[in-house]
A = this chain, B = another copy of it.
Amino acid sequence: VDLAALQARLRTFAEDRNWVQFHSPKNLVMALAGEAGELLELFQWLTEEQSRQIAHSNPDMQRVREELADVLIYVLRLADTLGVDLESALHDKIALNERKYPIEVSRGNAIKYSRR
C-alpha cells in the first residue's frame, strides 16, 4: 500500500468538494474518535469470545470493515493535514515499545495489562 497515494486521493476528494475548510486537525480528531465510537458500538455487548467469532459473520464483518476504513481514512487525513509521516511515526513508536517492554521481562507476566 502506498499511504502517500491514498492520502493524495483523499485530499483530492476533499478539495473537489470544497470540504478542506472543514478538515481542521481539531475537527478531524473528533471525526476519528466518533468513528472509533461506532466500532465500540459494534462490540460493546459481545463477549470476548463472541468478538473473536465475529470474523465468521458476513453481515457483521461488513460493518466492522466499513468502520475500520472510516477510522483509517481520518487517520490518513489528519496525518496529511499535520504533515506527519505515518510510516516513520509507526516505526519510531514500535522501536520505543520494544525498548519499553523487553521480551524477557514482559513474557510470562502481563504487567502492562494488569495495571495501566
Contacts and interface: CB of A to CB of B under 8 A. Distances in A.
Given A68-B79, A107-B18, A54 B25 contact: yes
> Within the oligomer, what is the number of copies of this chain?
4
A69 B93 contact: yes
Nearest to A59: B115
A64 B84 contact: yes
Interface residues of A, dominant DSSP: helix
Contacts of A6: 90
Contacts of A94: 9-10, 13, 73
B113 A45 contact: yes
Given A13-B98, A16-B107, A61 B48 contact: no
Across the A-B interface, the 5 shortest Cβ-Cβ residue pairs: A37-B37, A26-B51, A69-B93, A30-B44, A45-B113
